[in-house]
Amino acid sequence: MSLISQFLPKPKTPFPIVPIQSIAGRTLALLVAIMTFLSCVTFGAVFLVQNSTLAWSSEVGRELTIQLQQVEDEQMLSDIRTAISLSEQSPGVARAFELTIKDSEELLSPWLGEQFDISAFDVPRLVVVQLADPAKFDLEALKAKITDAIPEASLDTHELWQQQLNAMAGTVVLSGALALILILTATVLAIVFATAGAMASNREIVDVLHFIGASDTYIAGAFQERFLAIGMQGGAAGGAMAIVFFFVASTITSAILPNQSATQVELLFGQFTLGWLGLFGLILVVVTIAILTAITSRVTVHRFLAQIAP
Amino acid sequence: MIKFKNVGLHYGAGPEILKNLNFNIDPGSFHFLTGPSGSGKTSLLRLLLLSMRPTAGEMEMFGNSTTNLSKAELMQMRQHIGIVFQEFRLLDHLTTFQNVALPLVVRGEPESSYKSNVEELLDWVGLGHQMHVRPELLSGGEKQRAAIARAVIAKPDLLLADEPTGNVDPELSERLLHLFVELNRMGTTIILASHELHLLNKFKFPRLQLKDGGINVSN
């Protein structure tokens, strides 16, 4: 806390007119810290989901698969070669390659285990087509060429899945934003009550200041200074707790969970790493809460002073 | 300096506490405000401190009517008034020095401009050695002397005292009254409310006597 106070605006008076430590002040600081932590965690979760979705979406959008129904071995090898050749001749395609049975088993191993034998099932063989430039690529032309050459083949662009993913991500982001707004509203209301409580418990100081000729503006300034300091200290503590939370979550997924489980968690939720942009967002949340504390306490203090006799 | 013209006061729908008060206070004078408990001494002091407005009549202070004063003008006028309470009302989280300096701090004066004055005043009221301790370590008499120092540090034109000797022993009460007399000799107008007639009788100052809501000014 003393480190944070070095960055706070220097008080205009040589000594604090409003006591630095008080129960009401500590309550307000704790409240702001908790609300900041909740806001930061909500923001961070939404940020991670949004980032992962964008990454998935862009990766999936650059890839399509050709599914080839199981036929006799020789015919299957010929179909695979044809599909690869036709794909690689299409404009905008970087490369096409066969997904071997071993590759498919590796892909499914996080969910089905290492011992799973895919060859026991009548699973279609896959050719993966990776695009260099989705703008130049003509899906319909490739589809026509492939189905011409291999009537049983089908193309999957993952479009439906991509749409569902985007819809899900949109819902999560919207819900997160709503939760964030509700938390900030609750913060404002809680600050109103905490500030009014703090003013009431410091009523004697307000009265003495009035009696010695201090104006409402001066008294409000003295209290606001305290509340801003409390808000910034609580906000910084909450923000720091959130950063620690994300660091610990990241460490747990990468170090404590077995490799397989960590891969699954990463596949589903992305990495628990916020990056610089995420950290900047967290700082923005902390600053927003500090500003909200300053504005809310200012309004509450002025209303309190307007209601009492001079 | 102060003129009361037919001033009356009541709280809410209650009976009139003060009725039809008419009196003048000249600059540099010293008045005792007396009367039995509940006679309205504190209410009259609150009118004089401008923390209440009369419900009837008109008050003039420092040559201005107080009737239509805005809150800001009122706070400005209050800077000419010092107040001493029976229960001291020092701020517990501040030292003696800080409590006494408070009226100058709220006026925005830099510490360098008042430091020596505050120290000199604290020496004068006998608290030079208690300058940097908090009120909880002061005796009742010391607290009251600190409260008096706070009331006069900004050199007010008018000093109001509400039962300033109510919480101290008789010997100290008399010494405190001598302190007020000294301040009056230096030019401060003083109105001191007390019901301790045996103490007031030792001093020959005019009295504002409250009884049944009315006032009687005697010399």
- Interface contact A215-B111, CB threshold 8 A: no
Which of A234-248, A268-282, B89-103 is predicted with the least confidence, judged by mean pLDDT?
A: A268-282
Structural domain boundaries, residue A28: 2-57+162-307
Are A168 and A202 within one domain? yes
Same domain? B69 vs B167? yes
A137 φ, ψ (degrees, to nearest 5): -80, 135
B102 plus B170 within the same structural domain:
no
CATH code, domain carrying B196: 3.40.50.300
Mean pLDDT over B118-131 rounds to: 93
Chain B residues inside the 8 Å CB shell of A309 = 51-52
Contact list in B for residue A212 (CB cut-off 8 A) is: 83, 102-103, 106, 150, 154
pLDDT at position B132 is 95
Does residue B191 lie in a domain region?
yes
User: Domain end: A130, A152, A174, which one?
Assistant: A152
Flag whether A256 is in a domain.
Answer: yes
Percent of chain A with pLDDT over 90: 15
Which of A152, A183, A209 is the last residue in one of the domains? A152
Which conformational region is residue A228 in: left (phi greater than 0), alpha (psi within -120 to 50 degrees), or beta? alpha
Tally A–B CB contacts below 8 A: 62
Residue B87 lies in a domain: no
pLDDT > 90 in chain B, percent: 65
- Tell me: pLDDT of A1 over 50: no
Which residues of chain A neighbour B93 with C-beta distances below 8 Å?
A: 16, 19
The pLDDT of residue A267 is 57
Return the top range by mean pLDDT from A111-115, A233-237, B167-171: A233-237
Cβ atoms of residues B157 and B188 within 8 Å: yes
A211: nearest CB among B49, B74, B94: B49
Residues B26 and B71 in one domain: yes
Domain tally, chain B: 2
Q: With an 8 Å Cβ cutoff, are B103 and A212 in contact? A: yes
The total number of structural domains in chain A stands at 2
Across A20-34, A201-215, B35-49, B183-197, least confident range: A20-34
Domain final residue pick, A152, A180, A204: A152
The tens digit of pLDDT for each residue in A33-90 reads 999 999 999 998 888 888 888 777 777 778 888 988 877 777 888 888 999 999 999 9
Give me the residue label for tokens 């020092």.
Answer: B90
CB-nearest partner of A213 from B89, B98, B103 = B103
Asked, for residue B208, whether it belongs to a domain, the answer is yes
- Per residue in B18-64, pLDDT (tens digit) is 999 999 999 999 999 999 888 889 999 999 999 889 999 999 999 98
Contact B51, A210 (CB under 8 A): yes
- Can you list the pairs that B214-217 forms with residues at least 24 positions away whose Cβ atoms lie under 8 Å? B214/B19, B214/B20, B214/B21, B215/B18, B215/B21, B215/B22, B215/B23, B215/B44, B217/B23
Within a domain: A63: no
Residue A210 and residue A203: Cα distance in Å, rounded? 10
Domain-embedded: residue A91: yes
Is the residue at B85 inside a domain? no
Shared-domain flag, residues B164 and B185: yes
Asked if residue B63 and residue B11 are part of one domain, the reply reads: yes
**A37 within a domain of the structure (yes/no):** yes
Same domain, A270 and A297: yes
> Do B68 and B99 reside in the same domain of the chain?
no
Same domain, B10 and B72: yes
DSSP, collapsed to helix, strand or coil, labels residue A132 as: coil
Do both A34 and A80 map to the same domain?
Answer: no
Instruction: Please tell me the distance from the alpha carbon of residue A189 to that of residue B28, in angstroms, as a whole number.
Output: 52
Do B136 and B200 share a structural domain?
Answer: no
With CB atoms and an 8 Å threshold, state whether B81 touches A19. no
Cβ-based burial of B31 (10 A; exposed 0-12, middle 13-18, buried ≥19): buried
CA atoms within 13 Å, Cβ hemisphere of B137? 11
CA angle B87, B142, B160 (to 5 degrees): 50
In a domain? residue B51? yes
How far, in Å, are B138, B203, B206 from residue B30 at the CA level? 28, 10, 7
Boundary residue ending a domain (B124, B149, B174): B149
Does residue A166 share a domain with residue A114?
no
Based on the domain organization, do A261 and A224 belong to the same domain? yes
Domain of B180, in residue numbers: 2-80+156-218
Asked if A213 lies within 8 A of B78 by C-beta distance, the reply is yes
Which chain A residues touch B51 with a CB distance below 8 Å? 210-211, 309-310
Residue A274 and residue A168 share a domain: yes
Q: Is residue A62 part of a domain?
A: no
Whether the predicted pLDDT of A3 surpasses 90: no
- pLDDT on residue A264: 58
ipTM field: 0.88
CA dist., res. A16 & res. A45, Å (int): 40
What's the whole-number average pLDDT of chain B?
Answer: 91
User: What chain A residue is nearest to B114 in terms of C-alpha separation?
Assistant: A14
Are both A280 and A170 inside the same structural domain?
Answer: yes
Task: Name the nearest CA neighbour of B19 among B51, B57, B75, B45.
Answer: B57
Instruction: Answer with the residue of higher pLDDT: A198 or B83.
Output: B83
pTM of the entire predicted model: 0.70
Verify that A189 and A93 share a domain, yes or no.
no
Contact by Cβ (8 Å): B177, B205: no
Q: Are residues A137 and A266 in the same domain?
A: no
Question: Do A287 and A197 belong together in one domain?
Answer: yes
Does B93 contact A19 at a Cβ distance shorter than 8 Å?
yes
Domain co-membership, A260 together with A281: yes
Is the confidence at residue A260, as pLDDT, over 70? no
Does residue B50 lie within any of the structural domains? yes
Same domain, A284 and A142: no
Instruction: Tell me which chain B residues have a C-beta less than 8 angstroms from the C-beta of A205.
Output: 91
